[in-house]
């Protein structure tokens, strides 16, 4: 146990959106640069803190805040919708404002207080051309030449969505990695299995590249809603039921808006001993 007068290490926050959990490190004012090594150590649920993604906050020009994402295996992610909502909610509350702009690898993303404790984020326009997803060669992204005919969508990271009769019957532990590493996806891919359960209502489960099975995924939800609308299964406003709860997606002319809850679970400090061991 650290004594009360011992020096504190690097501060962090633990957050989640529908059970999709994150460690958030604010680099603003700290003299540490988060690396893949630190991300892997932190992501270990037995020897670190544990997370699906690590979100790193920075000061940037042209936006209220900058965000960089790491997966638990230390690889980077271009987008993470639930983490973006969590950070946006925290920063809006800290500043006493109801909207802000975040800069990610995906671009500039606008976030707003949606009322009733919910936060909405514009995740940008979906990427529908094969080279933008990206895929390994030219093809129609609506139905890939893979058994099950999935749809490919780019949301700042690649997604492969399978529409199935029963999403809960799929063994994601084997189905997910088999498709994450499919040769059509040179940067690997997130994998979703989705089932139409009602009008503009989907049930979806997620395998995230570099992570595994997760209770929710914001960018996966956006990609699945876009794929369902493109295939004529739904309109552009969709409710999605994930293992961790409900999220609402609205594919508008200005981008794909995602609305859902956030949670700040606790704050803490990484000890100097932990940091020195890396």
Task: Report, as an integer, the average pLDDT of 202-209.
Answer: 97
In a domain, 134, yes or no: no
Q: Is the pLDDT of residue 221 over 50?
A: yes
Mean pLDDT of the chain: 94
Please tell me whether residues 266 and 236 are part of one structural domain: no
Indicate if 94 and 197 belong to the same structural domain.
Answer: no
CATH number of the CATH domain containing 68: 3.10.310.10
25 and 119 in a single domain? The answer is: yes
- Asked whether residue 76 falls in the same domain as residue 104, the answer is yes
In a domain, 1, yes or no: no
Is the omega angle on the peptide bond into residue 134 within 30 degrees of 0, that is, cis? yes
What is the per-residue pLDDT across 152-181, written as a single tens digit (0 to 9) for each? 999 999 999 999 999 999 999 999 999 999
The confidence score (pLDDT) of residue 2 equals 41
Same domain, 117 and 65: yes
- pLDDT tens by residue, 86-124: 999 999 999 999 999 999 988 999 999 999 999 999 999
Domain encompassing residue 166: 151-253
Q: Is residue 51 part of a domain?
A: yes
Phi, psi (5° rounding) for residue 92?
-65, -40
Is residue 130 included in any domain, yes or no? no
The answer for residues whose C-beta is within 8 angstroms of residue 178's C-beta and 6 or more apart is none
Does residue 164 belong to any structural domain of this protein? yes
Amino acid 78: pLDDT: 84
Q: Is 142 within the bounds of a domain?
A: no
229 part of a folded domain? yes
Report the binding-site residues: 20, 53, 71, 81-82, 157, 190, 208-209, 218-219
Count structural domains, the chain.
Answer: 2
Q: Where are the beta strands (DSSP E) in the chain?
A: 10-17, 20-26, 53-58, 65-71, 76-77, 99-104, 107-115, 118-122, 151-154, 158-163, 190-198, 201-208, 212-214, 237-242, 245-252, 255-261, 263-270
What DSSP character marks residue 7? P
Q: Which residues are annotated as a binding site for substrate?
A: 20, 53, 71, 81-82, 157, 190, 208-209, 218-219
Per-residue confidence at 7, pLDDT binned at 50, 70, 90? low
Question: Exposure of 5 by Cβ count < 10 A (0-12 exposed, 13-18 middle, 19+ buried)?
Answer: exposed
* pLDDT confidence band for 63 (50 / 70 / 90): very high
- Whether residues 191 and 119 fall in one domain: no
If asked whether residues 30 and 65 sit together in one domain, one would say yes
The tens digit of pLDDT for each residue in 226-246 reads 999 999 999 999 999 999 999
pTM as predicted:
0.92
Mark whether 86 and 160 lie in a shared domain: no
Q: Does 138 reside within a domain?
A: no
**Residue 112 and residue 190 share a domain:** no
Catalytic site residue 160? no
Mean pLDDT of all residues in 125-132: 98
Separation of alpha carbons 96 and 266, rounded Å: 20
Q: Whose CA is closest to 220, among 233, 235, 202? A: 202
Q: Is residue 199 located within the same domain as residue 161?
A: yes
Concatenating the DSSP letter of every residue in 199-231 gives: TTEEEEEEEETTTEEES--HHHHHHHHHHHHHT
d(CA 91, CA 65): 9
> In this structure, are 64 and 102 located in the same domain?
yes
């Amino acid at each position: 146990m650290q004594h009360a007068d011992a020096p504190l290490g690097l501060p962090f926050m633990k957050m989640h959106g529908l059970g999709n959990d994150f460690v958030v490190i604010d680099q603003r004012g700290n003299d540490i640069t988060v690396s893949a090594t630190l991300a892997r150590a932190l992501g270990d649920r037995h020897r670190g803190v544990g997370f699906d993604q690590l979100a790193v906050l920075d000061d940037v020009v042209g936006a209220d805040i900058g965000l960089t994402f790491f997966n638990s295996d230390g690889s980077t992610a271009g987008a993470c919708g639930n983490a973006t909502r969590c950070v946006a909610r925290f920063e809006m509350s800290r500043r006493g404002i109801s909207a802000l702009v975040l800069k990610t690898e995906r671009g500039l993303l606008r976030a707003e207080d949606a009322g009733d404790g919910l936060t909405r984020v514009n995740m940008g326009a979906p990427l529908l051309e094969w080279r933008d997803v990206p895929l390994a060669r030219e093809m129609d992204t609506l139905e890939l030449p893979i058994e099950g005919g999935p749809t490919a969508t780019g949301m700042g990271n690649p997604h492969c969505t399978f529409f199935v009769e029963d999403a809960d019957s799929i063994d994601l532990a084997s189905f997910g990695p088999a498709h994450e590493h499919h040769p059509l996806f040179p940067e690997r891919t997130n994998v979703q299995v989705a089932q139409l359960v009602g009008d503009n209502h989907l049930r979806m489960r997620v395998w995230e590249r570099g992570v595994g099975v997760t209770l929710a995924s914001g960018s996966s939800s956006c990609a699945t809603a876009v794929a369902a609308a493109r295939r004529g299964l739904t309109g552009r406003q969709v409710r999605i039921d994930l293992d961790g709860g409900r999220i609402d997606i609205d594919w508008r002319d200005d981008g794909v808006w995602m609305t859902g809850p956030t949670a700040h679970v606790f704050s803490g400090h990484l000890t100097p001993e932990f940091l020195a061991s890396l």
